[in-house]
Chain A
Amino acid sequence: MSQPQELLFSKEHEWVKVDGDVATVGITDYAQNSLGDIVYVELPKVGSTINQFGNTGVIESVKAVSDLFTPVSGEVLEVNTGLETDPALVNREPFGGGWLFKVKLSKANETSHLLAPESYDQLVAEEGR
């Protein structure tokens, strides 16, 4: 499996796309596939402050409730409201239309705690074994 090269990854299977001081966050293709059909997504409130690797919401598949963590700290600028009516978008387009929320980064250097695509590939390969 090969990950989109412009992204960074967390060990909890979230991805981050950093654009200046704004980061877009989602879950990886591996994560959506492991979860199965996603039926409900609970996202952080716009305007709230979230901390790296903290619990920021919930993703529910038909069978399971999974915690959602944020890979970066900052203020939540926007959430993907399209997921309210179509949570399965996370399954169909995990790296695209199924993004979860956008954050105004408060600690630019903390991205050093995240994984580069090839390291994330390795993590997935180990978990899948």
Chain B
Amino acid sequence: MTTAHIKRTALYDQHVALGARLIPFGGFNMPVQYGGILKEHDAVRHRAGLFDLSHMGQFILKGENVPQWAEELTVNAVSTMKPMQARYNIFCNDRGGAHDDVIFYRLPDRWLLVVNASNAEKMWNHLNVHVGGSGVKLTSLHGHNALIAIQGPKSVEMMKGVTDCELGDLKYYFCTEGAVYGKRAVIARTGYTGEDGFELFLDGADASEVWQRLLREKEADGLEPAGLGARDVLRLEAGMPLYGHELTEEISPVAAGLQWAVKFAKPEFIGKEALEEQARGDRYPRIAGIVMDGKVPAREGYSVFLDGAVAGEIRSGSVAPSLGGKNIATALVGKEAAVPGTRLQVEVRGSRHGATVAEQPFYKRPK
């Protein structure tokens, strides 16, 4: 992909003005960091961070049949969602591999489907292939709408006076429609950091003003812009999968440890048989959390060993500031190597380093 094809979000000029380091991600030039990944991570865990997630795909689904139609395309339940509820879900291929992991938001007159930036085009095609005679009407807001996330323990406090909605009463994984600085927005209590917080879905034309005012007015309370670098560390600590790492066309939701999201009681959905067979057989390689003994970070692609034999490979790895700077990782390994407490070795540049399988999430926020 040449730079000419890399798009900009509505907040691109804000990132440049803030001195962000920009990298191409999911077809957009995105801020990987502003003041530093560890500093931004600290802001989100202890105060709040502001993220531009406008690169993510936002699709609108309309029609009476949306829930029934979506049930057959996804592993989790859709029809049981209450009005204004949000729910994590996964689209699979017929081998049970993950096509994408997404969130459905049930709004009064429509559904909002948020997909990964890197999968937006694939998902748009997938939805259109399956829309058939369902009567469901699809609209893509990708690249048009903006998504700003405010994440961190001070989010509720910071949003007071900014919106006309009582956000303190909004339940986790529910949303509301209202105004943010007078701009129409869907405000959802969702996120990808392991902290309390909100995601604000806005028209792209309104995004800059909301972003600027939030940063300007809440800076004194500790709000900082945070980039994709910090987001990746935060989500890994919180045990949340990242598509392309813990979930792929080959790594199924069952293998990723997301069986809680797979509703086998549903009569039919793409990938159901393959997932049932996988779960029943229980012999599949699976995602395990790993904590390294020492200071050497584990990185994607490094080989993992159990009793001297290759057991699998690292899928994500990072230093974990919320675990006192320990190095954490996920690995795709055989069943025996995925049991918490199991001792493993990770090969880093030709030498093997000890590690222990750990329960995920690595980090849980204090209640």
Residues of A participating in the B interface, judged by any CB pair closer than 8 Å: 36-37, 39-40, 42, 58, 60-63, 65, 84, 87
Inter-subunit contact A62/B37 (CB<8 Å): yes
Across the interface, name the chain B residue whose C-beta is closest to A61. B37
Inter-subunit contact A36/B295 (CB<8 Å): no
How far does the Cβ of B234 sit from chain A's closest Cβ, in whole Å? 11
Inter-subunit contact B36/A40 (CB<8 Å): no
A-B contact count, CB below 8 Å?
36
> Inside 8 A of A42's CB, which chain B residues have their CB?
296, 349
The verdict on B38 contacting chain A, using a C-beta distance below 8 Å, is: yes
Inter-subunit contact B37/A36 (CB<8 Å): yes
The verdict on B233 contacting chain A, using a C-beta distance below 8 Å, is: yes
> Inside 8 A of B233's CB, which chain A residues have their CB?
62
Inter-subunit contact B37/A37 (CB<8 Å): yes
Inter-subunit contact B295/A63 (CB<8 Å): no
Inter-subunit contact A36/B229 (CB<8 Å): yes
Inter-subunit contact B33/A36 (CB<8 Å): yes
Residues of B participating in the A interface, judged by any CB pair closer than 8 Å: 21, 32-33, 36-39, 229, 232-233, 295-297, 299, 318-319, 325, 349
> Inside 8 A of B318's CB, which chain A residues have their CB?
62
Inter-subunit contact A63/B297 (CB<8 Å): no
Q: Shortest 6 CB-CB distances between A and B: which pairs? A: A39-B319, A62-B37, A37-B38, A37-B37, A37-B36, A63-B229
Inter-subunit contact A65/B36 (CB<8 Å): no
Contacts A36-B36, A37-B37, A84-B295 given; does A58 touch B349 at CB 8 Å: yes
Inter-subunit contact A60/B349 (CB<8 Å): no
Contacts A62-B37, A62-B319, A63-B32 given; does A40 touch B229 at CB 8 Å: no
How far does the Cβ of A93 sit from chain B's closest Cβ, in whole Å? 16
| Complex CA distance for A36 and B32, rounded to whole angstroms | 11
Q: Can you pick out 30 interface pairs between chain A and chain B where the beta carbons lie within 8 Å of each other? A: A36-B21, A36-B36, A36-B229, A37-B36, A37-B37, A37-B38, A37-B39, A39-B295, A39-B319, A39-B325, A40-B295, A40-B297, A40-B319, A42-B296, A42-B349, A60-B297, A61-B37, A62-B37, A62-B38, A62-B229, A62-B318, A62-B319, A63-B32, A63-B37, A63-B229, A63-B232, A65-B297, A65-B299, A84-B295, A87-B295
